[in-house]
Copies of this chain bind each other. A is one copy, B any other.
Amino acid sequence: MSRSASRSANGTPAARPGRPRSAAVDRAVVEAVLRQLEEGVGIGELSIERTAREAGVGKAAVYRRWAGKEELLLDVLRSLDDDTAPVLQGACVRDDLVALLEHLRRRGLAGRSSAVLRTVIAQVRAHPRLWREYHETVVAARRRAFAEVLRRGVATGEVRPGVDVGLLTDLFTGPMLARAVLHDWQELPEGLAETIVDTVLEGVRPRVRPR
C-alpha cells in the first residue's frame, strides 16, 4: 500500500508530532492518475512530475507516500480492485466454479475499470517486483478459491480425481485470462463463464449417448 506512516503495534496510528498528512493529497494524486489514464495518456507518458502538477500537489508529497511510479500504479490498481470475494452457494461445484469465473469476468470489464484496469495490469506485469506483489495478493487468492472448490468437487465425486489441482485451476481460469489480458480484443461476452466451465467439465470429445 502506501508507504507506511509509522504505526504503533496495535494498528492505531501513533500520534506523531507535526502536521499530519493530508488525506486530500492521497486522493488528489490517485484521481489525477486515473484521469490521465482515462484520457488515454498511456503509461509511458505518465510521470510523477506531470501527475503532481495535475493534482496540484508538490512532488515531495508524492514521494513521501510512494517510492516511485510503479508503487503508485500498484496502489491505483488496488483501488480499482474492490475485492468483494464472490459469495459461493456451496451446493453444486459446477455453480461455484461459474460464480468464481463470472466474478473474474466482471472485473475484466466493469464500468470504469475496463480499459484502465487492463492497462494497469499490463504495466504492472512489466515490473517483476510489483507483479510478484500483485500476484501474491490478488492472483494467489483467486487460485486458492478455485483450488478449494475443486478439491471439494473431487471429494463429492463431481470432479475426476488424479488431475493436479493447480493445473485444473489453470484449465478454468487460463482461457478467461488469456482472453482478457493477452488478447484484449473485445469485451468478454455474457455467458462466457458458464460456457468455459461446462466445456471443461464435459470435455470436447463427442458425447457418448447412453441408450
Bound CA–CA A206/B174 (angstroms): 22
Closest B residue to A178 by CB, please name it: B174
User: In the assembled complex, which residues on chain B have CB atoms less than 8 Å from the CB atom of A202?
Assistant: 203, 205
Nearest CB of chain B from residue A165's CB, rounded to whole Å: 11
Considering only residues 62-116 of chain A, those with a C-beta below 8 Å from chain B are none
Is the C-beta of A167 less than 8 angstroms from some C-beta in chain B?
Answer: yes
Is the C-beta of A133 less than 8 angstroms from some C-beta in chain B?
Answer: no
- Report A39-53 CB contacts with B as 1/0, cut-off 8 Å: 000111000000000
Is the C-beta of A15 less than 8 angstroms from some C-beta in chain B?
Answer: no
Q: When the two chains form the complex, which single residue of B171, B182, B205 contacts A204, counting CB atoms closer than 8 Å?
A: B171
Instruction: Return 9 A-B CB contacts under 8 Å, by A number.
Output: A44-B126, A122-B125, A139-B182, A158-B206, A159-B204, A163-B199, A167-B195, A168-B199, A170-B178
Is the C-beta of A196 less than 8 angstroms from some C-beta in chain B?
Answer: yes
Known: A125-B122, A202-B205. A177 touches B167 (CB 8 A): no
Known: A44-B126, A177-B182. A160 touches B205 (CB 8 A): yes
* Residue of A125, A176, A182 with most partner-chain B CB within 10 A: A182
User: In the assembled complex, which residues on chain B have CB atoms less than 8 Å from the CB atom of A42?
Assistant: 128
Is the C-beta of A201 less than 8 angstroms from some C-beta in chain B?
Answer: yes
Classify chain A's interface size: 35 or more
Known: A204-B201, A205-B159. A127 touches B170 (CB 8 A): no
User: In the assembled complex, which residues on chain B have CB atoms less than 8 Å from the CB atom of A178?
Assistant: 170, 173-174, 177-178
Is the C-beta of A141 less than 8 angstroms from some C-beta in chain B?
Answer: no
Is the C-beta of A135 less than 8 angstroms from some C-beta in chain B?
Answer: yes
B157 touches A206 (CB 8 A): yes
- Report A178-205 CB contacts with B as 1/0, cut-off 8 Å: 1101110000000000011001111111
Q: When the two chains form the complex, which single residue of B122, B161, B171, B176 contacts A199, counting CB atoms closer than 8 Å?
A: B171
Closest B residue to A120 by CB, please name it: B126
Nearest CB of chain B from residue A34's CB, rounded to whole Å: 18
